[in-house]
Amino acid sequence: MTGLFISFEGIDGAGKSSHIEALAQAFRDAGRSVTLTREPGGTPLAEKLRQLLLHDAMDPLTEALLVFAARRDHMVQVIEPALARAEVVVSDRFTDATFAYQGAGRGFDWNKLQILERMAQTGCALEPDFMREPDLTIWFDLPAAVAAQRLATARVPDRFEAQPQEFFAAVAAGYARRCEEAPQRFARIDAHQPREAVWQQVAQVLQQRGYLQQASGAAA
C-alpha cells in the first residue's frame, strides 16, 4: 500500500469543503489512515501565514511568496511524512489555488509561479529531484455568479471572499487553465448541482480511478 495525495479545489462558495470530511471518512471506512488538512495552513507556522494572507493587504508577489512559504512548511511537516506512512492525504486546496487566485485572479506572472512551484515542491520526498503534486485534484467548478450568491449569505468575508464577481470569474478561468495543463490529474465536478448529486460525482471519480471500491452515501 502506498500513500495517496488528493486535493480539493474551487472558487470560494463552490461547496467543496462540505465533501472533504465525507471523503476522508469513506477512506477510513475502507481501512485507510487519513490526514485531513488545508492550505494555506496545516502547520502552526502555515496557519500564522494564513491569517496574514486572509486579512492583511499586500501585493501579488508578497501573496505568492507567503503562500509558497506556507506550502513548503506544510509539505515538510505534514504531507510528506503522511505519504511516507502510506496514508491518504486530503487537502482543502494546494498549488492550483495559487495559480488560480494569485495568477489568474491577481494577474501575477504564470511563469514565475511555475518557478516558485518547482522551488517549493521539490526535494521534500525521498527522490531529490521529484516535484510533489497531488495524485488527484478534484475541481469543484461553479459559475462565479452562483458562488457570489452563496457568499452573500456566508459569514463575514475575508479579503478574498470579499472580492467582486469579476475576480472569481478570473479565478475560475485560472482553474480551467490548470485543468487543461494537467488533464490526467484533474477531475472536474459540476458543483452547480444538489449536494448529493455533487457527492455522487466525487464518488464516481474515486471508483473509476480505483482509489475506492464504494463511496456512495458518505455525504448523506
Residue 15 among known ligand-binding residues: yes
Residue 105 among known ligand-binding residues: no
Residue 17 among known ligand-binding residues: yes
What values do phi and psi take at 7, rounded to 5?
-115, 145
Best CA proximity match to 161, nearest among 7, 30, 12, 14: 12
SS3 190: strand
C-alpha to C-alpha distance for 1 and 7, rounded to whole angstroms: 19
Residue 14 among known ligand-binding residues: yes
Residue 41 among known ligand-binding residues: no
* CB of 171 closer than 8 Å to CB of 104: yes
- CA terminus-to-terminus distance, the chain: 29
CA–centroid distance for 135 within its chain:
12
CA–centroid distance for 198 within its chain:
17
Residue showing cell 520526498: 125
What values do phi and psi take at 193, rounded to 5?
-140, 165
Residue 59 among known ligand-binding residues: no
Residue showing cell 448529493: 196
Binding site listing: 10-17
Binding site listing for ATP: 10-17
